[in-house]
Amino acid sequence: MNIFYSEVDKNLQTELRARGKSFQIRDNNALNYMLSKIANVEITAYETTSSKSEVVATLGGNTVRGGRYMPTGPDGYLMSGRMYEQRELKFNDTTGKVDLITNPKEDRSTRTGPYITAVNVSIGDHSMGLLNKASFNATIPNPDRDLDEFEEAWMRPGRYARIEIVYPETAIASGAATNGLLTKLVIPNREKLKNLYPDWNILELEQEIREMRRFVFEGLITQFDFSYNKDGAVEATINLTGTSNVYTNLSMYINPANSDPADTTATAPIVPATSSREFYGILYNRFEELIGQFKKADPAAPKLTKFLIPYIDKNLPSPQATDHFILKGEQFPAVTKIKRSNSGTSIIHTPVASSTNDTRYITLGALIQHINSYVLTKLPGAQIICTDVECFSVYYPLMVSSNPNEILFLPKDLNIEGNPSLRIGRQNDHNVYGDLVYYHDVLKQLTDNSVNTDVLKQQGLWKEWPGVYEKSPDDAGKLYPSRIFINLETIETLINNLSQKNTLSFSVGKFIELLCNKITLASGNAINLTLVTYPYDTSKLYLTDSKFVRTPADTSKVIAFSVPMFANHPHGTIVEDFQFSAKLPESAKNLSYVLNSNANISEEDIAPYLNFMYNGKNVDAVNKILAQYNAQHVDAAQKLRDAKQKFGRSPNVPTVQAELSLALKRYIQYPTSDIKNSNLLTAPLFPFTVNFTISGINGFRYGDVLTFDGLPEKYRVNTVFSIISISHTVSNTGEWKTQITCIQRPSIE
């Protein structure tokens, strides 16, 4: 699934076009839409962090259609003699306890109960630093009667609340064409996700979010304030943060109830699961426990010195995951460098010493599952989705890790020992550095009858390693971030550094951020993993690569939706306000001069300028740029090959590693000889933004791509605008507005 380059829902497109034409057609659907689009808002507070828990209080919705909100009737606010119970706590001298005392009191205020005056909700692309936030304003006309109860219900940081904005059923311009519903949501790989996360009710989720006339936000109250007006009424503002954005602040300290001791079949814990090391300690002990189980399962297994086996979470006894693995053993044996000349003679070079440490790695997918099982259980329903079912990165043929001691990219076919011709053919693989190959023999031990894989499979202790990437013969493919291996020592270092700072730093979000920074650096900025709210379920976070748009082999089409705007659009207009702005960095402003020099220009700098060039009429200038780009690619690829060879001869020299890192970054900036294909791979963002406002509607997602016929041609050819933020506001008159913010990027079609 690609959430950063997606197509607007087909039924939503139909509804928006019908809205645009409603001012021209004036049929029943159009009139109903124009006359009945007044929104109601209901906000509910709950006892626990779930909308299925006990309701504490409700504002708006049906509550304002009767009782104290009507002028007449038994409880009408204009009626005299209305009584209510005032509650207070009083200490009982006899029992030594506190009792709740209720006293009847007459309400003489002739004022209504509390009501909502404004709502503001913002859903954003977290990879752009935007979070899910909401706020609402409420008026308490009679604070003497209602302020205590209001404060108890709503002025409680950490309280779970649900905001629901609803239009009448008649406020659907498309009528029976859509029935007011988005197309039947089909979450990609639903069955696989259900196996990986059995407690996730995906079917119920799919039905909840389809209504275009209804928008729901769920989150935790994080801040509030109130003030008195001159007439004695109280104005209160309550701020909420989206559920998924809250639990990244959870401490990495583990609930003692979830701190399982080491398995009795294994040796005593080597790393104590206590203090700030408890997260790492439990992980380490589970690692050794699985190795012990593996050795016990087959008599031949204890002879092994290297292990590449499944990571099995105790909370998922029958794992379906193909990205949960652990790796243990020597990274590479001693290597003797041999140079073969044309005459067939060989010159023996200085050998590289073996990696003597017993290194341990775990895949990112398994590590995130460990966090889900031992940390996020402190908040019911909290979960981070990180799986090879949905999370992908771009495959680059020459890519390696610039720091394999910390972050390792391990392909599937590792056994190239003793086959020089195969070694030459695989010299560009992700774990190959010249003659030095990380874990090139680890599969050999497990495929040459050293162990009984059938017996291990029966016990759930064996799975074939699928490799960090998949590719076709023409080098088109994709890489799976959840299959990236991370050194346990790197994890321990991050945990210890965070725990020594302060409690706020020692959080799930900060740990994952620093870990992802390691992966970004090791990949030469090719992979940028970030936590975002899962598009279909705002209670969950999704760890995904914001740089992945689509692989060259992907033939699916994502057609940008042309937003109806201005009178000459074939579908009329839905846009009430439109803004377009550009903020070019200094490097881009001066790019026309720099291109003629020998300076190193990054792909991020060159892309905006090239986009203008593509839409210009100067053919010679465009061809010159294309030739320059091809030359930059050839140079970057050769320098990376040289840097990998040098690293293979001296893998533990910091300056050599730094050279490899720089060469890798430059190669990622110029990954192909064709700038158009490079734009497809890297999908850079251009510094042009669009903001527009329409009548309220549910169904847009960040990542949906749009075009605007009202813009000049240069902003419509070869580019699209990708949604990065959706905001909903409701005024005190029931006007629901939806504001969309977009940023420009190349079209991949």
Query: What confidence tens digit (pLDDT) does each residue in 411-427 have?
Result: 987 544 444 444 444 56
**251 DSSP 8-state letter:** B
Query: Residue 631: enclosing H or E segment and its boundaries?
Result: helix 619-649
pLDDT reported for residue 566: 85
CA-to-CA distance for 76 and 74, rounded, in angstroms? Answer: 6
**146 DSSP 8-state letter:** H
Angle between helices 364-374 and 278-297 (to 10 degrees): 120
Helix, strand or coil, per DSSP, at residue 121: strand
Residues pairing with 90 in the sheet: 99
**Tokens, residue 5:** 């380059």
* pLDDT tens digits along 331-353: 877 655 545 555 554 444 445 65
CA-to-CA distance for 560 and 748, rounded, in angstroms? Answer: 10
Q: Which string of b and e fits 482-515 if b means at least 16 CB within 10 Å?
A: bbbbbbbebbbebbeebbeeeeeebbbbbbbebb
448 burial (CB, 10 Å; 0-12 / 13-18 / 19+) is exposed
User: Which residue in this structure is represented by tokens 């900036």?
Assistant: 669
pLDDT reported for residue 592: 42
Please answer whether residues 738 and 728 qualify as being in contact, where contact means their C-beta atoms are separated by less than 8 angstroms: yes
Residues pairing with 537 in the sheet: 534
Degrees, nearest 5: CA angle 666-669-674: 125
Please answer whether residues 313 and 324 qualify as being in contact, where contact means their C-beta atoms are separated by less than 8 angstroms: yes
Helix, strand or coil, per DSSP, at residue 28: helix
CA-to-CA distance for 277 and 300, rounded, in angstroms? Answer: 34
User: Which residue in this structure is represented by tokens 């899910």?
Assistant: 132
* Number of residues written out for the chain: 749
CA-to-CA distance for 131 and 127, rounded, in angstroms? Answer: 9
Amino acid at 143: P
Please answer whether residues 293 and 263 qualify as being in contact, where contact means their C-beta atoms are separated by less than 8 angstroms: yes
pLDDT reported for residue 597: 40
State how beta strands 561-562 and 577-582 pair. Answer: unpaired
Residues with Cβ within 8 Å of residue 156, at least 6 apart in sequence: 45, 221
pLDDT reported for residue 738: 97
pTM for this model (two decimals): 0.81
- Whole-Å CA distances, 116 to 57, 75, 141: 13, 20, 11
In the chain, which residues have pLDDT < 50?
A: 261-270, 272-276, 338, 345-350, 415-425, 586-601, 603-606, 608-609, 611-615
